[in-house]
Structure 1
Amino acid sequence: MLLCSPTLATGPKPDAVLKNRNIEARVLLDDTIRADAVLTADCLTEARKWLDKSAAEAAATRKTDPVLFRDGAWEFERNYAIRSVVGDRYISIVRSDYTDTHGAHPNSDVDTILWDRTESKRISIRPFFIETADNGPTMKAMLKAVIASLTIEKKKRDVADTSDEWIKNLKPSLLKIGAVTLAPSTEIGKSPGLTFHYPPYAVGPYAEGAYVAFVPWETLKSYLTPEGLRIIGGARPKGDADEQ
């Protein structure tokens, strides 16, 4: 689990920076993103809104509770990293946020972006499924597979509490099941399934850290469109499975 961000002090040159007495914030894109001008512009447009929002919130907090800045400016960092490129078209990006407001511990968050290189826009995973209605058969099957994967991951970490309490916020809905990416594959240009990314607190206490749930396409094969079937291939690399 990432508890500190060394790039705040050292590391690559940021792609966007905002620094004042309240916050020191930066945004970093990986090299593959930088090589795509349209994708870079899209990420930076979003990131600059995040920088401005973070600065405004910090400024408002200083007015009401200046003691929270007794140790200096708050630190923020956002990283955009390519996770997979599938079919030379679909680019999965993990967006990781780090925040240190000088509380008990720094905080981290994660979200994902699925970019359609052909259409030059963000999309969801809907094109890969026949239907994705809330509480529909696809989403129910997907949620069941996500919970099964998370249960396995918790057992690997010797987590004693495997009650339903930690999954109560997960719902059979694209907007409430978790941030999703197309998993990387041992076969170039293909994907073996979906990975769902959860920051600390999302599916367990902070001490458990972040989780990644893997759902193989085979589990969802009967729900896939021809495009979904087209991108299936290979297996999840061992290194990817071990990253947790």
Structure 2
Amino acid sequence: MTMNGAMISLTSTSAKSLIRRALFGGLVALACVNGSLAAEPNPDFTVKTKYIDASITLDGTIRANAPLADNLLAEGKRWIEKNRVEAAKEFKTAPELFRDGRAWVFERGYSQTAKAGERYVSIVRIDYVYTGGAHPNTFIDTILWDDEAKKQISVRPFFKETADNGPTLKALRAAAIAAVQAEKKERGIDDSGTIDWYKGVEPTLLKVGAVSLAPSTIADKSAGLKFHYSPYAVGPYAEGPYTVFVPWETFKAYLSPQGLAIFAGNQPSGAKLGRQ
């Protein structure tokens, strides 16, 4: 996780707040459709020692859903504990990494972005990690929660088949890459370089991109899928993250009856989140 380059101290309040504002800004953008964040939330869990400064933040909509909040908070705590153990080990063996009171920073935020079928809750998780280097790292992932079963689930039941390199995943990969390329063109980015940035986007459920349900103009439906890519995933770090939208009609032919029941409508005006 450590990047090569000039060391940046995060011991000052201003430096830490920059990351917190960046995290909050991403969550605000992701949650702006359903208005789940009205003000910057305080962390729901924090750990602060000589070698680690970590926090977990849930948005207001998630906090109001006790089973979901408990599940995500437990997941976040496990993540912090794993990194705390690693930081403690490095603090003993390589104290120079923590000179001048510098601590490793781990901040995780969860934001609910859509709900469909009266039970499927889509969540975007953003991690900001700084363990020394030229800049913090950003990691974006998604979670699908079943409010009825009270557990995290996969999008597999929404499709007739989701085999690796199968027709569904090939179609989703092609649509996601096309959407990223369109977003790059809109940003004025030349995508004709020699590096194949899309090599890592594979036609498998785990590598096609972090997928979330997109909100819809029709209540309790999803207008399609959003694919979330962290910095470096589909372009150089300077381009930042990408969130692109694929309308449900694009993959309608691959949907199972369960999927057909939750997809309908269009993406609401102003819901486009190409940059987070």
The 2-side partners of 1:18 and 1:242 are apart by 31
**Aligned letter for 1:94?**
V
**Aligned letter for 1:28?**
T
Q: Comparing 12-21 with 171-180, which one deviates more in the overlay?
A: 12-21
> Does residue 177 in structure 1 map to residue 192 in structure 2?
no
**Aligned letter for 2:76?**
A
Q: TM-score, normalised by structure 1?
A: 0.93
Per the TM alignment, residue 238 of structure 1 is displaced from its structure 2 partner at its CA by 2.8
5+ residue gaps in structure 1?
none
**Aligned letter for 1:165?**
D
The 2-side partners of 1:131 and 1:239 are apart by 32
Per the TM alignment, residue 223 of structure 1 is displaced from its structure 2 partner at its CA by 0.8
| Identity level (%) | 54
Are 1:151 and 1:162, in contact at CA under 8 Å, matched by a contact in 2? no
3-state SS of paired residue (1:183): strand
> Does residue 139 in structure 1 map to residue 154 in structure 2?
no
> Does residue 73 in structure 1 map to residue 73 in structure 2?
no
Per the TM alignment, residue 235 of structure 1 is displaced from its structure 2 partner at its CA by 1.1
Per the TM alignment, residue 230 of structure 1 is displaced from its structure 2 partner at its CA by 1.2
Q: Comparing 144-153 with 66-75, which one deviates more in the overlay?
A: 66-75
Per the TM alignment, residue 225 of structure 1 is displaced from its structure 2 partner at its CA by 0.9
3-state SS of paired residue (1:51): helix
The 1-side partners of 2:117 and 2:124 are apart by 18
Are 2:162 and 2:205, in contact at CA under 8 Å, matched by a contact in 1? yes
The 1-side partners of 2:228 and 2:68 are apart by 21
Aligned residue pairs total 240
5+ residue gaps in structure 2?
1-17, 24-39
**Aligned letter for 2:185?**
K
The 2-side partners of 1:5 and 1:59 are apart by 23
3-state SS of paired residue (1:53): helix
Q: Comparing 119-128 with 156-165, which one deviates more in the overlay?
A: 156-165
- Correspondence 1:46-61 to 2 at 5 A: 46-61=75-90
Match of 1:195 in 2: 226
Are 2:243 and 2:274, in contact at CA under 8 Å, matched by a contact in 1? no
The 2-side partners of 1:139 and 1:204 are apart by 21
- Relative distance call for 1:29 and 1:101 in structure 2 (3 A) is same
Q: List per-residue Cα deviations over 1:116-172 (Å, max 9, x = no partner).
A: 111111111111100010011111111110111011011112222345610001111
Q: Comparing 209-218 with 59-68, which one deviates more in the overlay?
A: 59-68
Q: TM-score, normalised by structure 2?
A: 0.83
3-state SS of paired residue (1:14): coil
Are 2:47 and 2:55, in contact at CA under 8 Å, matched by a contact in 1? yes
- Correspondence 1:1-244 to 2 at 5 A: 4-6=19-21, 11-71=40-100, 72-162=102-192, 165-242=196-273, 244=275
The 2-side partners of 1:44 and 1:76 are apart by 14
Per the TM alignment, residue 103 of structure 1 is displaced from its structure 2 partner at its CA by 1.7
Aligned residues: CA RMSD? 1.7
